[in-house]
Amino acid sequence: MSAFIHTKPVPGGKAVNLSKSGKIMTKTVKITFSKTPKQKSDTLAACVGADGAFSPEAEALNKQSGGTIRQWMDAQDHFTGKAGQVAVIAAPKNKDGVVRYMLVGTGEAADLTAAEAAVIGGKFYSALKSTGTEHATLFAAAKGAAKSDKKSKKSDEKQPLGADATAAHIAEGLRLRAYDFDLYKSADKGNGKKGDKKARALQSVDIVLDDATKAAAMERDLAAAAAGTHVARDLTNEPPNVIYPDSYAKRIAKMLQPLGVHVEILDEKKMAKLGMESHLAVGQGSARPPRVVIMRYAGKSGAKGAKSAKTAPKMTKPLAFVGKGVTFDTGGISIKPAAGMDDMKMDMGGSAAVVGLMHTLASRKAKVDVVGIVGLAENMPSDRAYRPGDIINSMAGKTIEVLNTDAEGRLVLCDALTYVQKHDKPKMIIDLATLTGAIMVALGPEYAGAYANDETLWTQLHDASQKTGEKLWRMPLDDFYRKSMVSTIADLKNISGSPHGGSCTAAGFLQHFIEGDTPWAHLDIAGTAWVNADKPLGPKGATGFGVRVLNQMVMDYYE
């Protein structure tokens, strides 16, 4: 099929109809916190500290097993209680329906971090799933754990995590790993949507500890962030014939309006009236026109933005989050290689993170005023597409020489950045984008590149990154890169022309559109928005990177 042919969504297809829902599509596992076990479970598990140290709860579980657990421990040498280790032990036949025991390593209590506890939860989930567990009970107190957690904003202030926080973050990891995008799997036994496999799916986990009430309260905000991460994953995993600018915009409205978020959608006519010519140029090659979606949540000022509201809530200096939403990126006329092009449905991962963050903040009723803006476009080659050599305008009034149509994300972002500064005058701006392959060369899949023009903002991001495990590495934002984006025949050019420092020059381009001394950070998440293999906190595919780190930053510094 020619790259110039534009397909339409499958009319009336069951999977497409399902995808139109504004709800989170991912199935969830019920997680409860109790002082004493509240359910019958086929798997009983206990946390074990470093060097296999048993807590009183683990000793009690060993006694219940008739000494089976301790006998197993004495007969092996590979399970030591190291953080993230999970051991599965077959249970003797008994009348309580217990099929297996598990030991969950938490390591040295004094060294355990929130991010590590979440990874433990993810690995525990994987063990439960692989054994066909339906209902599990976890005795969460590990030997040496502090009873209660004392919150600190600064990540470098080393404090014991506490049993309550440990349990809450283990639950967070469980929720994050319990993600499976199977919307387009046929509903048959082989695909596990009916029959025996459905009956063996994990349904509930009861986490038992003394501070159950406090752990449950702490986990509520974490659960909201996990749900927001699932929103971002769902949106990014969707195929490009289902998620395209108009359908994406409508789904955002359907999802967020019931939560009290005011959603405004700009079509191509409104965009043209505003002068968003840079963004429009990117999308002009597609039969599906671009969109801009503005989401406003007034959690601090109290202004309402319910679904019936016709006007946006008035907010003074809100926080602003901007996301690149290229729903499919062929590269345009500067077309990409065929191999791997199917993954370019993930080129809207930055916008998905912003939507997921707005979902999180509204769900947990965060006391903060926030505006989120996502620029949506499809970058396609056609007789209408923008070309290398074109000179286009931008909302900021700066002209841009197009040297490569595959450097399109920055052209979408620059108009969105201008819009939010003119209309909302934010306290600070953070943009997220799967912007460059260069950041993947520089940092690989583990870290996102972070550029910041403000030390305080960077410190806030770094601290939140340390807490959540969504890793950021600061990259140079230098005048050298900014000046390298100046064109000889226009104000700017969309690539530097050099094969070096591509992520840095992209950030330098965006910096031209930041007004005055507005605190701003740019997160290049090209290497972290998508993974090609299962990870402790999620399966292959979209990661939803950005939701949790930004939510943590908002919690710690802006509420």
Assign residue 181 the CATH number of its domain.
3.40.220.10
Q: What is the pLDDT of residues 479-528, one digit of tens each?
A: 999 999 999 999 999 999 999 999 999 999 999 999 999 999 999 999 99
Q: What is the mean predicted confidence (pLDDT) over 291-297?
A: 98
Hey, what amino acid is at 171?
A: A
10 Å Cβ neighbour count for 357? 33
DSSP SS3 for 458: helix
Torsion over CA: 194, 135, 222, 109 (sign): negative
| Count of C-beta atoms within a 10 Å radius of residue 222 | 24
Is residue 14 included in any domain, yes or no? Answer: no
Asked if 216 and 312 sit in the same domain, the reply is: no
**Residues contacting 18, CB < 8 A, separation 6+:** 25, 183
**Would you state the pLDDT for residue 11?**
34
User: Which of 38, 197, 336, 398 is the catalytic position?
Assistant: 336
pLDDT(211) > 60:
yes
Q: Based on the domain organization, do 450 and 360 belong to the same domain?
A: yes
Residue 210 in this model has a pLDDT that exceeds 70: yes
**Are residues 333 and 453 both part of a single domain?**
yes
Residue among 274, 262, 266, 270 at smallest CA distance from 314: 262
Q: In Å, how far from its chain's centre is CA 128?
A: 24
CA angle 95, 98, 102 (to 5 degrees): 155
Both tokens of 314, joined, read 């008035």
> Do 201 and 253 lie in a common domain?
no
Is 406 annotated to bind a ligand? Reply is yes
How many domains does one find in the chain?
A: 2
Asked if 34 and 208 count as a contact pair (C-beta separation under 8 A), the reply is yes
Alpha helices in 406-492 (DSSP H): 409-424, 438-443, 455-468, 479-483
Per the domain annotation, does 137 fall within a domain?
Answer: yes
Domain final residue, candidates 164, 192, 225: 225
Provide the pLDDT for residue 372: 99
On the question of pLDDT at 114 being above 80, the answer is yes
As a whole number of angstroms, the distance between CA 327 and CA 330 comes to 10
Cross-strand partners of 158? none
User: Which of 76, 79, 121, 125 has the alpha carbon at shortest distance from 103?
Assistant: 79
What does each C-alpha distance from 277 to 75, 399, 415, 419, 510 come to in angstroms?
A: 70, 10, 8, 12, 16
Residue 518 identity:
T
**Which bin fits 490, alpha (ψ -120 to 50), beta or left (φ > 0)?**
beta
> Does the residue 480 lie in any domain?
yes
- Same structural domain, 88 and 201: yes
151 pLDDT more than 60: no
Which of 141-150, 202-211, 338-347, 472-481 is predicted least confidently?
A: 141-150
Helix axes 245-256, 212-237, angle to 10 degrees: 160
Answer whether 383's CB lies under 8 Å from 332's CB.
no
Domain-located, residue 216: yes
Q: Does 417 lie in the same domain as 268?
A: yes
Sign of dihedral through CA atoms 548, 552, 558, 559?
Answer: positive
Report which DSSP code applies to 289: -
On whether both 269 and 211 belong to a single domain, the answer is no
Q: Which domain holds residue 52?
A: 30-225
Concatenating the DSSP letter of every residue in 202-232 gives --EEEEE-TTHHHHHHHHHHHHHHHHHHHHH
Number of neighbouring beta carbons within 10 Å of residue 498: 10
Q: Per the domain annotation, does 34 fall within a domain?
A: yes
Backbone φ, ψ for residue 8 (5° rounding): -105, 160
Residue 383, amino acid: D
The whole-angstrom separation of Cα 363 and Cα 302 is 15
Side-chain-side CA neighbours of 444 within 13 Å: the count stands at: 2
**How is residue 555 written in tokens?**
């919690």
Q: Write down the pLDDT at residue 312.
A: 81
Asked, for residue 388, whether it belongs to a domain, the answer is no
Q: Determine the Cα–Cα distance for residues 545 and 471; give it in Å rounded to an integer.
A: 9
pLDDT tens digits along 354-394: 999 999 999 999 999 999 999 999 999 999 999 999 999 99
Q: Which residue, 193, 225, 257, sits at the end of a domain? A: 225
CATH number, domain of 372, equals 3.40.630.10
pLDDT of residue 526: 98
Confidence bin at 146 (pLDDT 50/70/90): low
pLDDT at position 142, please?
65
Q: Which amino acid is at 388?
A: P
Average pLDDT estimate for 258-268: 97
Question: How far apart are the C-alpha atoms of 208 and 199, rounded to whole Å?
Answer: 25
**Known binder of ligand: residue 347?**
yes
| Nearest-angstrom CA–CA distance, 132 and 200 | 5
268 and 193, same structural domain? no
3-state SS, 3-52, equals: CCCCCCCCCCCHHHHHHCCCCCCCCCCEEEEECCCCCCCCEEEEEEEHHH
Q: What is the mean pLDDT of residues 145-163?
A: 61
Q: Could you tell me how far CA 38 lies from the centroid of its own chain? A: 32
The closest of 222, 213, 112 to 162, measured between CA atoms, is 112
Model confidence at 20: pLDDT above 60: no
Residue 16 pLDDT > 90, yes or no?
Answer: no
Same domain, 113 and 253: no
Q: What is the pLDDT of residue 141?
A: 81
Say whether both 451 and 422 belong to one domain. Answer: yes
Tokens of 305: 């933005």
pLDDT at 299: 95
pLDDT tens-digit map of 24-59? 555 679 999 999 999 999 999 999 999 888 989 999
277, 218: one domain: no
* Nearest by Cα to 262 from 300, 302, 312: 312
Residue 276 contacts residue 292 (beta carbons within 8 Å): yes
Residue 478 is assigned to a ligand binding site: no
20 within domain boundaries:
no
Same domain? For 424 and 552 the reply is yes
22 lies in some domain: no
147 is an active site residue: no
100, 251, 345, 410: which one is catalytic?
A: 410
Q: What whole-number distance in Å separates Cα of residue 156 and Cα of residue 172?
A: 22
Tell which of 194, 225, 256 closes a domain. Answer: 225
Q: One-letter amino acid identity for 258?
A: P
Judge whether 336 counts as a catalytic residue.
yes
Which structure tokens are listed for 121?
């939860």
Q: Is the pTM of this model over 0.75?
A: yes
308 confidence band (pLDDT: 50, 70, 90):
very low
Distance between CA atoms of 73 and 128, rounded to whole angstroms? Answer: 20
